[in-house]
């Protein structure tokens, strides 16, 4: 693993993951080591991106951090995850609940299955508010959070149901729900992958604005390098359960060290640049 | 089945909005027809008596064919058949709805708990449901009525006991499906109490098939009640449609109206209930399963 990290005097990390490993059962007595050995840090107010292809283990890593791995005794987690110094691996269910309802907000890929189809938007946002740290739990506060997340006609939306909204709006509702907790960290797992390109940018901008205004940290997972470019301070590149490179966004883009990172960048450039022939990474040939 | 696209309408603010399932349901032409049919029959049974002769009035000619005074003819005691059918219809409808409601309640509680919790709870409750499902309704009716007599509460109880497992099975399956969805996981992760998750997250989303099954149950209950009454197992004092058919057996060759009208009435109400359930199914399921 090659690293371009600056080591200057840093405040205590919000999330400090050391040597994390996650083994998952995949059916009849077979297991896969989804995460082999991952170490990463997220500092307060920072935006960190995790980039990698499908199967690289980025989702599993982030679910381990949020405590959302499948509840099965066959799942093995090794290593350490510290939230503000507090060890989370092996923590009690109540500790995890506290973390998940008040300190970490999660945004997942498919907004429709993460919203209750039979509950109004207003009520769902308000419930998140009531479980969170905010003192104001009124519907007005819910509307303010929705506006913060980029939903301009919040008053109209509170009485509506998820199926009445477009994909981009639903994702912004998920952002609002995550923000309503007043979390210290927002974890977004491919939040815009399911959306059209133009909507993607708008939703990302909403996410950007709200994270800036609240000063929350952001851990963003995506396979799309362009998304990471505009939004993240630091980037980790994952491949097959390990981090192969890390550094600031500029370093990764202009001075990639690891072969996989270079390959990734080259594939993306060949795809978007018409003058180049389409490049297929050798990492993909297996 | 033709593919039905979701019609768009504009809300007052100009935003495009999709029609809710209820609106969609009401727009189907056949739905309106069957709904109207059921409403008409209910009106016939409950409001009709205000305008017709008393069902116990024996002053009319015995076994008279339908004419201007007795639109459905008279029976062997000189009673007006139409009025008797109205009162009988009240019984049939009441039994059907009561059984439907009780089955739905039992099914939601038992099926919901089984589907949501899984594990030991599920196994136990499934066995209970299977036990009740295996009991043949007619035999149970025979035994119960022999021991306890035939009254409406007994008949409603018997029918409910034998019909709830089928609906419970559906509730259970739906709950098992819904509990895997993302928003349930989020609620669980946020630390909501399990019963709250069942009530607010799982059950409302499991409800559509239950509504369909309950509508079908009402139809079936009316049919079964009519069958029991026809066999003489009904409440002897009530002129329920099945009982009317029972009494009409001796006169099938001579007084065709005594058989025809109650028979057609049963047919129509059961058909309408089933068709309504079918339409409900069409409009509720596509809306639920279509994820944008």
| Average confidence (pLDDT) over B38-50 | 87
Contact across the interface for B189 and A67, Cβ inside 8 Å: yes
Which residue range(s) make up the domain with A100? 44-57+91-255
Neighboring chain B residues of A153 at a CB cutoff of 8 Å: 13, 15
Task: Return the structure tokens found at A199.
Answer: 């909507």
Contacts of B89 (CB under 8 A, 6+ apart): B41, B44, B45, B241, B265, B269
| Average confidence (pLDDT) over B99-105 | 95
Q: Decide: B276 and B100 in contact? Cβ < 8 Å.
A: no
- Residue A31 inside a domain? The answer is no
Compute the C-alpha angle A68/A74/A79, nearest 5°.
65
Is A59 strand, coil or helix?
Answer: helix
B200 in contact with chain A, both atoms CB, cutoff 8 A: yes
pLDDT in tens, A253-285: 888 888 888 887 877 776 666 666 677 766 765
Q: What is the DSSP string of B175-236?
A: HHHHTTSHHHHHHHHHT--HHHIIIIIIHHHHHHHHHHHHHHHHHHHHHHHHHHHHTT-S-T
Q: What is the pTM of this model?
A: 0.77
Q: How many independent structural domains does chain A possess?
A: 1
B227 pLDDT above the threshold of 60: yes
Q: How much is the pLDDT for A271?
A: 67
Work out the pLDDT band at B222, boundaries 50, 70, 90.
Answer: very high
Q: How much is the pLDDT for B5?
A: 42
Q: What is the DSSP string of A8-19?
A: ---PPPSEEEEE
B11 pLDDT above the threshold of 60: no
Q: How many independent structural domains does chain B possess?
A: 1
CA distance A154 to chain B (A): 13
Q: How much is the pLDDT for A206?
A: 86
Query: Nearest chain A Cα to B287, which residue?
Result: A163
Q: How much is the pLDDT for A103?
A: 86
Q: How much is the pLDDT for B4?
A: 39
Which residue range(s) make up the domain with B104? 26-45+81-286
B180 in contact with chain A, both atoms CB, cutoff 8 A: no
Work out the pLDDT band at B67, boundaries 50, 70, 90.
Answer: confident
More confident residue, A72 or A204: A204
| CA quadruple A33, A39, A45, A50: dihedral, nearest 10 | -50
Nearest to A117 among B15, B191, B205 (CB): B205
Neighboring chain A residues of B205 at a CB cutoff of 8 Å: 116-118
Contact across the interface for A114 and B183, Cβ inside 8 Å: yes
Q: How much is the pLDDT for B22?
A: 66
Distance CA A148, CA A214 (A): 9
- Residue A265 inside a domain? The answer is no
Q: How much is the pLDDT for A10?
A: 64
Which of B16, B182, B206, B285 has the most A C-beta neighbours within 10 Å, making it the best mutation to test the interface with A?
Answer: B182
- Residue A133 inside a domain? The answer is yes
| Average confidence (pLDDT) over B96-120 | 93
Burial of B159 (0-12, 13-18, 19+ CB in 10 A): buried
Q: What is the CATH number of the domain that holds A247?
A: 3.40.50.300
Contact across the interface for A163 and B18, Cβ inside 8 Å: yes
Q: How far is CA B139 from CA B92, B100, B145, B151, in A?
A: 21, 21, 10, 16
Neighboring chain B residues of A112 at a CB cutoff of 8 Å: 291-292
B229 in contact with chain A, both atoms CB, cutoff 8 A: no
pLDDT in tens, B122-156: 999 999 999 999 998 888 988 998 898 888 899 99
- Residue A112 inside a domain? The answer is yes
Q: What is the CATH number of the domain that holds B218?
A: 1.10.3720.10
Q: How much is the pLDDT for B290?
A: 45
| Average confidence (pLDDT) over B220-240 | 86
Contact across the interface for B200 and A119, Cβ inside 8 Å: yes
More confident residue, A70 or A20: A20
A127: left (phi over 0), alpha (psi -120 to 50) or beta: alpha
Q: How much is the pLDDT for B13?
A: 38
Contact across the interface for A110 and B182, Cβ inside 8 Å: yes
Q: What is the DSSP string of A86-129?
A: EE-TT--HHHHHHIIIIIEEEE-S-HHHHS-TTS-HHHHHHHHH
- Residue B143 inside a domain? The answer is yes
Contact across the interface for A118 and B13, Cβ inside 8 Å: no
H/E segment holding residue B36: helix B29-46
Distance CA A9, CA A6 (A): 9
CA distance B132 to chain A (A): 32
A151 pLDDT above the threshold of 80: yes
Which of A5-14, A264-273, B41-50, B219-228 reaches the highest mean pLDDT? Answer: B219-228
Out of A42-56, A71-85, B173-187, least confident range: A71-85
B18 in contact with chain A, both atoms CB, cutoff 8 A: yes
Average per-residue pLDDT for chain B: 83
Distance CA B273, CA A34 (A): 53
């Amino acid at each position: 693993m090659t690293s371009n990290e600056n080591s200057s005097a840093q405040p205590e990390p919000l999330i400090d993951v050391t040597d994390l490993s996650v083994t998952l059962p995949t059916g009849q007595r077979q297991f896969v080591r989804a995460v082999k050995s991952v170490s990463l840090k997220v500092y307060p107010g920072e935006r960190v991106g995790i980039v990698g292809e499908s199967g690289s283990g980025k989702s599993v890593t982030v679910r381990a951090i949020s405590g959302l791995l499948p509840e099965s005794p066959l799942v093995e987690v090794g290593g350490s995850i510290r939230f503000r110094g507090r060890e989370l691996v092996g923590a009690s269910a109540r500790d995890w609940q506290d973390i998940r309802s008040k300190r970490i907000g999660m945004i997942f890929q498919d907004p429709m299955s993460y919203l209750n189809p039979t509950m109004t938007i207003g009520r769902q946002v308000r419930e998140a508010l009531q479980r969170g740290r905010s003192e104001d739990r009124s519907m007005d506060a819910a509307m303010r959070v929705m506006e913060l997340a980029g939903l301009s006609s919040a008053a109209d939306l509170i009485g509506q149901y998820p199926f009445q909204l477009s994909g981009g709006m639903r994702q912004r509702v998920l952002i609002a729900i995550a923000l309503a907790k007043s979390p210290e960290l927002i974890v977004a797992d491919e939040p815009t992958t399911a959306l059209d390109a133009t909507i993607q940018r708008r939703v990302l901008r909403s996410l950007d604005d709200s994270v800036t205004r609240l000063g929350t940290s952001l851990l963003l997972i995506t396979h799309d390098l362009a998304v990471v470019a505009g939004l993240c301070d630091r980037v980790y590149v994952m491949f097959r359960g390990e981090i192969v490179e890390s550094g600031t966004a500029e370093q990764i883009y202009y001075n990639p060290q690891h072969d996989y990172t270079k390959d990734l960048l080259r594939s993306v450039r060949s795809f978007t640049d018409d003058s180049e022939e389409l490049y297929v990474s050798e990492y993909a040939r297996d | 089945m033709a593919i039905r696209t979701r019609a768009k309408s504009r809300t007052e603010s100009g935003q495009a909005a999709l029609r809710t399932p209820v609106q969609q349901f009401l727009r189907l032409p056949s739905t309106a027809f069957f709904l109207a049919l059921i409403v008409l029959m209910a009106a016939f049974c409950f409001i009709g008596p205000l305008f017709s002769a008393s069902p116990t009035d024996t002053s009319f000619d015995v076994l008279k064919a339908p004419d201007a005074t007795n639109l459905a003819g008279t029976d062997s005691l000189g009673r007006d058949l139409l009025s008797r059918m109205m009162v009988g219809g009240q019984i049939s409808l009441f039994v059907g709805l009561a059984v439907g409601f009780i089955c739905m309640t039992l099914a939601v509680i038992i099926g919901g708990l089984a589907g949501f919790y899984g594990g030991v709870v599920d196994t136990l409750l499934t066995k209970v449901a299977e036990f009740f499902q295996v009991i043949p309704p007619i035999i149970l009716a025979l035994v119960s009525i022999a021991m306890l007599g035939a009254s409406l509460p007994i008949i409603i109880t018997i029918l409910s006991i034998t019909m709830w497992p089928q609906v419970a099975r559906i509730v259970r399956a739906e709950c098992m499906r819904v509990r895997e969805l993302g928003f349930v996981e989020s609620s669980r992760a946020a630390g909501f109490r399990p019963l709250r998750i069942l009530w607010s997250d799982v059950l409302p989303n499991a409800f559509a098939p239950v509504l369909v099954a309950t509508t079908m149950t009402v139809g079936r209950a009316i049919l079964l009640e009519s069958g029991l009454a026809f066999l003489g197992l009904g409440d002897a004092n009530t002129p329920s449609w099945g009982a009317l058919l029972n009494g009409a057996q001796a006169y099938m060759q001579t007084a065709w109206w005594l058989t025809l009208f109650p028979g057609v009435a049963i047919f129509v109400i059961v058909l309408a209930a089933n068709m309504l359930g079918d339409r409900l199914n069409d409009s509720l399921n596509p809306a639920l399963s279509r994820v944008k």
